[in-house]
């Protein structure tokens, strides 16, 4: 196996009851790239992320992290390699923003010991980068959807893992914060050699930030490759059932999907 393969999935199957959600799904992640998963509703995007980070257990096939099967790792070890930013969520108790962000260090802190200086430094760095300084003492439950999303994003960055999963992590954000978070994460991919795998609903957002894309349909990865090569009118038709025109963005040369109709 290539040393660069940090996370691989081979013919993974997963079903709920009798219904197969993920069928014969394979993919491979290299270090230091920004990957996107796109696909129609119900194509299994979120479930695939769940399987890859051991939140759900796959039935057959194999998922390997650094060449070793995922289920040979402890939960805690996985949490030191993979962080997850889920879709927005609610918490029932009034924890402060600072409490929630600090929970990102949970996989590293021994029971009954407290925050070290390096833990604190990392938290401060992330808080500064995401401009959350003014929020720290706020009650998390009183925040708006977008503010929560930024906090939970900070929580995942504080986890300081090599791999970060985003599950429509920017869906509640206004354009400024949406791009500001994606720019931040993109910077981490380039400068700190992080690997990001992100589920996108918005095709052009995926196209703008992702180096490579996986297109999913019916629980399978149907297309995989460089963003510029697989963002094609034909694939839009096959995967999303839309008529489109792909325009080359003059600024960064990224493909831009203009939807012309449905099939």
Partner 1 sequence: MKKNRFALLATGSFIGTLILLMYYTCTGYMNISMRDVFSIIVETIKDPKAAKETYGTLWYVVIEVRLPRILAAAIAGAALSIAGTGFQGVLLNPLADPYTLGISSGAALGAAMSIVFGWNFFGVITVQICAFLFALITLLIVLRMATLNGRVSPVSLVLAGVIISAFFSAALSFMKHLAGEEVGSIVFWLMGSFASKKWSEVIILLCFTILGFIISLFYSKDLNVLSLGDKNASSLGINTSRLRTTILITASLLSAITVSIAGIIGFIGLIIPHLVRMVTGPDNTKLMILSPLVGAALLATADNFSRAWLPAEVPIGTITALLGGPFFIFIFRKKLKGE
User: Which parts of this chain interact with partner 1 (CB under 8 A)?
Assistant: 16-17, 50, 53-57, 74-80, 82-84, 86, 89-96, 99-100, 103-104, 106-107, 109, 111, 141, 152, 155-156, 159, 165
Q: How far is the CB of 61 from partner 1 (least distance, A)?
A: 17
Cβ proximity to partner 1: between 56 and 179 the closer is 56
Q: How far is the CB of 178 from partner 1 (least distance, A)?
A: 21
Cα 62 versus chain centre, distance: 20
Q: How far is the CB of 51 from partner 1 (least distance, A)?
A: 12
Q: How far is the CB of 103 from partner 1 (least distance, A)?
A: 5
Contact 179, 212 (CB under 8 A): no
Cβ proximity to partner 1: between 111 and 252 the closer is 111
Q: Three-class SS of residue 96? A: strand
Cβ proximity to partner 1: between 90 and 191 the closer is 90
Contact 207, 227 (CB under 8 A): yes
For residue 191, give the H/E element and its range. helix 175-192
Cβ proximity to partner 1: between 101 and 189 the closer is 101
In sequence order, which residues have a C-beta less than 8 Å from that of residue 143 and are 6 or more positions away? Answer: 97, 135, 151
* Pairwise CA distance, residues 227 & 36, whole Å: 9
């Amino acid at each position: 196996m290539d040393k660069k393969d940090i996370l691989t999935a081979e013919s993974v199957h997963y079903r709920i009851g009798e219904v197969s959600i993920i069928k014969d799904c394979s993919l491979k992640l290299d270090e230091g790239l920004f990957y996107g998963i796109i696909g129609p509703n119900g194509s299994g995007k979120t479930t695939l992320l769940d399987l890859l980070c051991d939140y759900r257990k796959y039935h057959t096939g194999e998922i390997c992290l650094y060449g070793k099967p995922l289920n040979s790792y402890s939960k805690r070890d996985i949490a030191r390699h993979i962080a997850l930013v889920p879709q927005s969520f609610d918490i029932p108790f009034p924890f402060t923003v600072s409490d929630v962000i600090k929970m990102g260090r949970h996989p590293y802190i021994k029971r009954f010991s407290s925050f070290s200086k390096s833990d604190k430094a990392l938290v401060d760095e992330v808080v500064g980068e995401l401009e959350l300084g003014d929020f720290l003492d706020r009650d998390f439950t009183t925040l708006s959807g977008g503010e929560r999303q930024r906090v939970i994003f900070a929580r995942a960055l504080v986890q300081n893992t090599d791999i970060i999963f985003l599950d429509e992590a920017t869906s509640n954000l206004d354009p400024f914060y949406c791009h500001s978070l994606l720019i931040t994460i993109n910077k981490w991919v380039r400068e700190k050699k992080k690997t990001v795998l992100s589920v996108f609903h918005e095709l052009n957002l995926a196209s703008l930030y992702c180096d490579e894309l996986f297109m999913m349909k019916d629980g399978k990865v149907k297309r995989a490759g460089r963003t510029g090569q697989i963002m094609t009118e034909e694939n839009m038709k096959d995967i999303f059932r839309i008529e489109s025109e792909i325009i080359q963005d003059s600024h960064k040369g990224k493909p831009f999907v203009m939807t012309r109709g449905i099939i």
